[in-house]
Amino acid sequence: MKKIGIMAAVAALAMCVSCKSNVASIDNQTFTLTELNGSKLVQVEETTPSISFAGNRVAATVGCNSITGDYKVGEDGAISFSYGASTRMMCPQEMREDEFIEAFNKVAKYTVADDGEVSFLDADGKLLFKARK
């Protein structure tokens, strides 16, 4: 009986060593932004609000200005953005540009739901914005 317990412990340890995060990869994908701070994000101009990931670069827009920077993914959906640059055009207030930039700078984690919806959260787990394929 003792042998079975030891074998089970070794098997569990071996499985944990090979474990990877169960969070789906967002690399090389573009998502449409759908929600910001709990309310629907609507398309005001002809540019669809979006966020794209390629290599270690992130690019986002809520329809007027563009934001670019680097991103790094860690364990279990941890993610950090380093704000690189943005355009600074005057945008309609309903585009919520400043609100999005503030949320973008607070992102600390992401989750991907079964339906592919991506939620971006701050360090306390508060939902900042959502996106979908």
The 10s digit of each residue's pLDDT in 54-66 is 999 999 999 889 9
Q: What is the rounded (10 degree) CA torsion for 57, 105, 109, 124?
A: 170
Among 11, 30, 16, CA closest to 131: 30
CB 57 within 8 A of CB 70: yes
**For 74-125, what is each residue's pLDDT tens digit?**
999 999 999 888 888 888 888 899 999 999 999 999 999 999 999 999 999 9
DSSP for 88-117, please give it: -----GGG-HHHHHHHHTT--EEEE-TTS-
Dihedral sign for Cα 123, 57, 52, 24, please.
negative
Q: In the predicted model, is pLDDT for residue 11 greater than 50? A: no
Report whether CATH 2.40.128.270 matches the domain 24-132: yes
Token pair listed for 102? 């503030």
Among 72, 63, 62, CA closest to 103: 62
